[in-house]
Chains A and B, each alone.
Chain A
Amino acid sequence: MESTSGKKLLSRLMERIPNRFGVTVLLALAVLAPFLVQNDYYIQLCTEILIASLLAISLNFLIGFTGLVSLGHAVYLGVGAYAFALLTKNVYPSMWAGLIAAGASCALLAWFMGVFCVRLAGLYFAMLTLAFSQVVYTVAYYWRDVTGGDDGMLGIPKPEIGIPGAFSISLESFTNFYYFVLIIVTALIFLAWKIANSPFGRVLQAIRENPERVEFIGLPVHRYKLYAFIIAGTLGGFAGGLYSTFQGYISPDLLYWTQSGEIVLMTILGGMYSFLGPAFGAGMLLFIRDTVLNFMEYWRIVVGGILVLLVLFLPGGILGFFEEWASRLSIGGNDGDDTRS
């Protein structure tokens, strides 16, 4: 008895809380985070989570939105990072120029790769993306004159931002840099969200559902897939640029296929059918690993075990699970638009 009335109450609560509320809370938490964690390490962990969130959401543009499972997404993390590093170290130390270089180089790369990749589907698409990323990895590994090879690149700056002559803000402090990343990432995620809810975004979902029918409403599916590929790559490139300046050091490991696998992992872990799910997955994965790694020697067993259990028992991802749970509670109350799309 008690539980049913409790459920009813909860379900009514769920109805009353629009999606916007959750996002507001999340943003408020993000803004207050440096004050809440009170420790430089956690501030920089949060920074890393933000960057990983952007990366996972960018991948989800392909996996969850367009139904294309890319196993080579690390290529954008890596290329974006190298582009930022090469520009700011060798040409001109500007944050904005670096980030634009990161995004633009990845847009170009995605365009080039995409032309070949989007013609394939399913596992074949996955394999071609994987093969491409491995090629780039190999190039980065061996082209020591430019990339530093296995040693990587060191001393990537965090250039000041501001208006020259008028004012400037140093990003050397953990908190400043966190807020800088927060603003950039939020803006880009907001942009991604806009795209997701635009007519274009809906076409991508339609492609995920039924690519052939999309062709038969008069839209060239390959071209739309290519655009999605480029958008995902560009967003990934920005994440790479941010990562580059965040770490101050990059190496070809960023491009290795296991890194790609990790991004897929974040995406699925959080839930690929919800917009913020991948970000949630990124946070969870980094947090769990950071925690477990520091408290046990055989931490892989724990992380692997959690992964196995999640796949077996929470197939919709963590956020996906909570959303489903919430929607089941509110069944009957809201029969309207599928907000999960």
Chain B
Amino acid sequence: MELDVSFWLTQFLNGLANAMVLFLIASGLTILLGVLGVLNLAHGSFYMLGAFLIFSSSIIKNPSWFWVGLLLAPLVVAGFGTIIEAFCLRPLYGRERLYTLLLTYGFTLILDDLVLLIWGRDYKSVPIPALFEGRLTIGDFSYPVYFLFIIAVGPLLGVFLWFILNKTNFGKLIRAAATDSEMLDALGVNVNRVFTGVFALGAWLASLGGILAAPMRSVEPGMGVEIIIESFIVVIIGGMGSYLGAFVGAVLIGMLKAFGIEILENFAMIFIYALVLPILILRPRGLFGETTI
């Protein structure tokens, strides 16, 4: 019996750790959808860029590499996102939404090859930062510290996002832009800059997800394509524009994956869609969706 408790607890934490990485990517995706109405397929590429940049910083043989990378890499990616938004996405806002979909798809192709050009093709592995090596052991129960770190970072970033959105001027502008960007413009706010800021924030979050995931996963081109569809499902479940929804959706997916394999090991994916379809059919706005896109 003792053993079972630790098994289920471990499975629960596994689901949570998985969920937190998803949350980071999905939260950016959902805010982007809520404010800009853009389904950014290149979002997965930002996740990938984050992972590649942390790989580069892991080459520095100094224990502080992880923190340097954690701080700098998302800024680099956010800057890159800024450029894409300002020069390529901005001209498209007045047109049909489909075009932004195509444009960001084009960028996923470009970025996948770009990382090959820059970083080469070798398999890449990012070590776990020294501080989080090892396991936390309590009696029978033993769990990797790094996973616990990821689980802790997720809610922290959730609170951070809540703070940004609700307590800062930038957050007010984001919420205002989500309701009526034209009015915001007419009130003297450079909405384009708000949009760019939102895009950069999304890129920042996604790359952070990539950084956190890198020591646990592999770093490879195409890793963005894998993650984007799952984050997209999270957004659907949570509701477009709702970061709280993204959090709940991510936890749901994480749990389904962790516990789904107990029931129907090979068909765990089916559970996820078994959840998504009725939600979309009965509550197309998702669990927490409020804004109309």
By a beta-carbon cutoff of 8 Å, the part of chain A in contact with chain B is 63, 69, 116, 120, 122-124, 127-128, 130-132, 134-135, 138-139, 142, 257-258, 261, 264-265, 268, 298-301, 303-308, 311-312, 315
Q: Return chain A residues, CB-CB under 8 Å to B273.
A: 131, 134-135, 138
Known A268-B98, A268-B102: A308·B280 in contact at CB below 8 Å:
no
The chain A residue with its CB closest to the CB of B281 is A116
- In angstroms, Cα B98 to Cα A122, docked, is 10
- In angstroms, Cα B39 to Cα A307, docked, is 17
| Cβ-defined contact, B105 with A265, below 8 A | yes
| Cβ-defined contact, A123 with B110, below 8 A | no
- In angstroms, Cα B109 to Cα A264, docked, is 16
- B138-163 Cβ-contact flags toward A at 8 Å (1 or 0): 00000000000000000000000000
Q: Return chain A residues, CB-CB under 8 Å to B232.
A: 127, 130
Interface residues of B toward A: which range? 35 or more
Known A128-B280, A135-B277: A307·B240 in contact at CB below 8 Å:
no
The chain B residue with its CB closest to the CB of A63 is B98
By a beta-carbon cutoff of 8 Å, the part of chain B in contact with chain A is 33, 37, 39, 41, 88, 91-92, 95, 97-99, 101-103, 105-110, 112-114, 116-117, 225, 229, 232-233, 236, 240, 266-267, 269-270, 273, 276-277, 280-281, 284-285, 293
- In angstroms, Cα B58 to Cα A71, docked, is 39
Q: Return chain B residues, CB-CB under 8 Å to A132.
A: 277
Q: Return chain A residues, CB-CB under 8 Å to B39.
A: 123
Q: Return chain B residues, CB-CB under 8 Å to A268.
A: 98-99, 102
Q: How far is the CB of A82 from chain B (nearest CB, A)?
A: 18
Of the residues B97, B99, B114, contact of A311 by C-beta under 8 Å: B99
A-B contact pairs, 22 of them (CB 8 A): A123-B33, A123-B39, A123-B240, A124-B285, A127-B232, A127-B236, A131-B236, A131-B277, A132-B277, A142-B267, A257-B229, A261-B105, A304-B107, A304-B110, A306-B106, A307-B109, A308-B106, A311-B99, A311-B102, A311-B106, A312-B88, A312-B91
Q: How far is the CB of B95 from chain A (nearest CB, A)?
A: 6
Q: Return chain B residues, CB-CB under 8 Å to A138.
A: 267, 269-270, 273
| Cβ-defined contact, A304 with B284, below 8 A | no
Q: Return chain A residues, CB-CB under 8 Å to B98.
A: 63, 69, 264, 268
The chain A residue with its CB closest to the CB of B33 is A123
| Cβ-defined contact, B280 with A304, below 8 A | no
Q: Return chain A residues, CB-CB under 8 Å to B236.
A: 127, 131
Of the residues A124, A299, A303, A307, contact of B102 by C-beta under 8 Å: A307
- In angstroms, Cα B280 to Cα A122, docked, is 13
- In angstroms, Cα B52 to Cα A7, docked, is 53
| Cβ-defined contact, B284 with A128, below 8 A | yes
Given contacts A123-B37, A142-B267, 10 further A-B contacts (CB under 8 A): A69-B98, A131-B277, A138-B270, A298-B117, A307-B103, A308-B106, A308-B107, A308-B110, A311-B92, A315-B95
- In angstroms, Cα B33 to Cα A311, docked, is 20
Q: How far is the CB of A194 from chain B (nearest CB, A)?
A: 26
Known A264-B98, A311-B103: A124·B225 in contact at CB below 8 Å:
no
| Cβ-defined contact, A123 with B280, below 8 A | no
Of the residues B91, B109, B240, contact of A301 by C-beta under 8 Å: B109
- In angstroms, Cα B232 to Cα A70, docked, is 15
The chain B residue with its CB closest to the CB of A296 is B113
Q: How far is the CB of A114 from chain B (nearest CB, A)?
A: 12
| Cβ-defined contact, B97 with A308, below 8 A | no
